[in-house]
Amino acid sequence: MDTVALTFDDGPYPETTPGLLAALGGTRATFFLWGEHAAAHPDLVRAIAAAGHTIGNHTWTHPHLSTLPAPARDQEVRRTQDLLTRLTGIRPALFRPPYGDTDAAVRAMLADHGLTEVLWSVDTRDWAGCSADEIVAAADGVEPGGVVLLHEGRPATLDAVPRILAALATRGLRPGRVPVRG
Which residues belong to the active site? 9, 151
* Residues sharing a CB contact under 8 Å with residue 116, sequence separation 6 or more, in sequence order: 93, 94, 95, 110, 180, 181
First to last CA, the chain: 23
Closest residue by Cα to residue 118 from 8, 26, 16, 24 = 8
Burial of 43 (0-12, 13-18, 19+ CB in 10 A): exposed
The residues near 145 (Cβ < 8 Å, ≥ 6 apart) are 2, 3, 4
Q: Distance between CA 92 and CA 161 in Å, rounded?
A: 24
What are the start-end ranges of the H helices in the chain? 17-24, 35-40, 42-50, 70-88, 104-112, 132-139, 155-170
